[in-house]
Amino acid sequence: MSLFKTPLIGLKADSFRHPLDLQATTSLKQIPGLDMMVRNWLGPVAEQVFYVENIASSVLVGEKQLPDLYQLLLEACKILDIDPPQLYIRQHPAPNAYTFAMRGKQPFIVLHTSLVELLTPQEIQAVIAHELGHLKCDHSVYLTPVNLLVLAAAIVPNVGTFIAQAIQTQLLEWVRCAEFTCDRAALLATQDPKVVMSVLMKLAGGSPTLAPQLNLEAFVAQARAYDDISKTEMGEMVKATRTSQLTHPVPVLRAREIDRWSSSQEYQSLLQNHGKSTSEVTSPGGWRNW
């Protein structure tokens, strides 16, 4: 089976970046000395550690190794107009994916095996595209190294804990906002909001056994109902407290954001303005399209 998708020629990160991401990134860059410490001190060390770990304990995907997954990567990169990073598959029971890169170095994405088992091929591509969004928007320059910076600051006597807490609060806010942008990248790559929202639904309460029984329409209704909580001061306070220490926005909020953006003029204009040509993207290995 095949699905027509529009490669987004000349797509720029700021054309789909979420406003909250832009605001939080600007604030993060204003932390004195952060950029220098990340790039010159922590970045090279973290990069080497993660690279060695991947080579030793993960499987590098390529033309001769899990070629179906490799094709999903190449298709997403073509649509988002980005050079392909390395893709690794890692044995792990917790469904997750992450990315790492420093400027001028080889970036890579890691998918956990439990995530692959949970999702359909097109949903896997949505996850890959989400991680590509981090690379496209240069999130990964800060993403992993700044977490290491927080840990390092925490062990410095006297002022260390205070610095760590101040940076961590700002960092977590930035990371949550960056996730909204990368969900948009997933939508641009799959060009189907149901695929992205289905991933979020399965991450919220799915398993290989339960996944076929989940109802996406009911989850979307649940996501829309989440907005009603904000209509009271108490509800808004509870939501803020619930999310303040999370690295990701709650799944229903992410689904609601995609639900809104997919029907916006901004999203439609991106497809029209950057879609110079339409090509046929065929699912590898005869996998079913969602």
Distances (CA, A) of 276 to 67, 84, 184, 279: 28, 21, 20, 10
Distances (CA, A) of 287 to 97, 120, 188, 278: 21, 9, 20, 21
DSSP β-bridge partners for residue 41: none
User: Is residue 80 within 8 Å of residue 132, measured between CB atoms?
Assistant: yes
The H or E element that residue 6 is part of is none
| Separation CA 78–CA 280 (nearest Å) | 12
Q: Would you mind telling me the total number of residues written for the chain in this entry?
A: 290
Catalytic residue among 47, 123, 131, 179: 131
Beta strands per DSSP E along the chain: 2-5, 59-60, 86-90, 97-100, 108-112, 279-282
Residue type, position 144, single letter: T
| Separation CA 1–CA 18 (nearest Å) | 33
Q: Which pairs from 106-110 meet CB under 8 Å and 24+ separation?
A: 106/51, 107/135, 107/140, 108/50, 108/51, 108/54, 109/73, 109/85, 110/54, 110/58
C-alpha count within 13 angstroms, C-beta hemisphere, residue 146: 25
| 179: annotated active-site residue | no
The set of catalytic residues is: 131
